[in-house]
Amino acid sequence: MLDLIRKTVLTGVGLAAMTKDKIEELAKEFAEKGELTEKEGKDLVDDLLKKSEKARKDLNAYVEKAVRKIMKEMNIATREDVLNMKKQIKKLEKALNEKDSQG
């Protein structure tokens, strides 16, 4: 029964979007209905919290990778690109200022 509940939760609700409060509320509901013992409820909460955190991290990594790919395909400068250009501009300004001072 616990496995069925776990699978239902994982497929019925976006795991990455589940908050600790929502997971605890869900486990409490199952416990109140007598579908889970207190220990099973705690185990369910712990398991879902771990899976939720992993799903969030995986989703963030996937989105970041997708955004970087799209930016590259669109030839959009990244923050790192802009910072490198700023450094180059400062070097050129310094060189020009030194040249003006000498001549």
What tens-digit pLDDT sequence spans the chain (103 residues)?
Answer: 445 555 555 554 566 666 777 777 777 777 777 777 778 877 877 887 888 788 778 878 888 888 888 888 888 888 899 999 999 999 999 999 998 888 6
Q: Considering the domain boundaries, does residue 45 fall inside one? A: yes
Q: Considering the domain boundaries, does residue 89 fall inside one? A: no
Q: Considering the domain boundaries, does residue 87 fall inside one? A: no
Q: Which of 2, 75, 74 is nearest to 35 (CA)?
A: 2
- What's the confidence (pLDDT) of residue 87? 98
Could you tell me the pTM of the whole model? Answer: 0.51
Q: Considering the domain boundaries, does residue 23 fall inside one? A: yes
- What's the confidence (pLDDT) of residue 59? 79
Total structural domains in the chain?
A: 1
DSSP notation for 71-97: HHHTTPPPHHHHHHHHHHHHHHHHHHH
Q: Considering the domain boundaries, does residue 81 fall inside one? A: no
CB-based burial label for 27 (10 Å; 0-12, 13-18, 19+): buried
Give residue 18's domain range. Answer: 2-76
